[in-house]
Amino acid sequence: MEQFNLKGKVALVTGGNGGIGLAYATGLVKAGAKVAIWGRNMEKNKDAIQSLKDLGSEVAAFVCDLTDINQVDSSFEATMKEFGQVDICFANAGGGGPKGMLHKTSDEDWNGILNLNLNSVVYTYRKVIAQLIERKAPGKLIVTSSIAGLIGMGYASGYSTTKAAVLGLTRALAVELGRNNIQVNAILPGYIETELSINTPPSFKEAVLRRSCSGTFGTLDQMEGVAVFLASSASDFMTGQSIILDGGHTIHPG
């Protein structure tokens, strides 16, 4: 369908060199978009770019620590030099943060997860928004939140807090940018099987399956379609919203 065609569009995906971010990038490339990946690991960036090039679109990767505002600035400049524009931004980079009770969490660990999961989104969005408004161009901003931002996760208060915070940011920016024809939305994954899933304790996996209406885990290929939808004109009348992809985890009573 033509409304899902992303030819002529440039998408930026932070944390796009693996896992959910690479799944987003894969879907975007399949839909015809040019894609810029920002990631901290140069080797992972190279591998991701090779896999995306095999799909036939123009792609590039830039080494960037999203918690460093100077690196965000320089990576954005490099992206603009490479592609000339950014129409779509997936603020996907993030992490789990400190584990344990809040009163035992150090200031360093707390500020670290705020920088990684919240401030990095703000740093990236500010650059993208400024050039969209300067170009008077329509745009799409999408952040990866989590169902933890809705239901909470004990002993992971930093993760839950930051994933809830980006939902507030999503709604605020939807109001702020709506008349500029810039849509702002969020994706809230549940448990998605990635290359890191092997390290998840079996007890946690079992608990997830008990709560899931589908009785299954999510897979990376299931992230591609929602990425294309939110990046395309098919979602032009949708803003300030959250799409939950959790197999029914958040509605299951058990």
Q: Look at residue 252 and tell me if it is in a domain.
A: no
Residue found by looking up tokens 């500020």 in the block: 111
Domain that holds residue 113: 2-245
Q: Look at residue 176 and tell me if it is in a domain.
A: yes
Q: Look at residue 205 and tell me if it is in a domain.
A: yes
* Total structural domains within the chain: 1
Dump the DSSP string for 161-199. HHHHHHHHHHHHHHHHHGGGTEEEEEEEE-SEE-TTGGG
CB neighbours of residue 149 within 10 Å: 22
Which tens digits make up the pLDDT trace of 203-251? 888 888 888 898 999 999 999 999 999 999 999 999 999 999 999 999 9
Whole-angstrom distance, CA of residue 37 vs CA of residue 224? 15
Q: Look at residue 142 and tell me if it is in a domain.
A: yes
- The answer to whether residue 159 is catalytic is yes
Could you tell me which residues are beta bridge partners of residue 89? 12, 141
CB 22 within 8 A of CB 219: no
Q: Look at residue 250 and tell me if it is in a domain.
A: no
Whole-angstrom distance, CA of residue 58 vs CA of residue 62? 14
The angle at the Cα of 238, spanning 21 to 13, to the nearest 5 degrees, equals 20
Which tens digits make up the pLDDT trace of 89-141? 999 999 999 999 999 999 999 999 999 999 999 999 999 999 999 999 999 99
Rg (CA), the chain: 17
Q: What is the pLDDT of residue 254?
A: 65
Tokens of 129: 């928004």
Task: Find the CATH number of the domain harbouring 137.
Answer: 3.40.50.720
Q: Look at residue 254 and tell me if it is in a domain.
A: no
Q: What is the pLDDT of residue 50?
A: 94
Q: Look at residue 23 and tell me if it is in a domain.
A: yes
Q: Look at residue 170 and tell me if it is in a domain.
A: yes
CB 129 within 8 A of CB 148: no
Write the single-letter amino acid at 136. Answer: K
Which tens digits make up the pLDDT trace of 150-207? 998 889 999 999 999 999 999 999 999 999 999 999 999 999 998 877 788 888 888 8
pLDDT at position 8 over 90 = yes
Q: What is the pLDDT of residue 196?
A: 73
Q: Which of 123, 125, 159, 191 is catalytic?
A: 159
Whole-angstrom distance, CA of residue 217 vs CA of residue 203? 14
57 or 102: which leads in pLDDT: 102
| This model's pTM is above 0.85 | yes
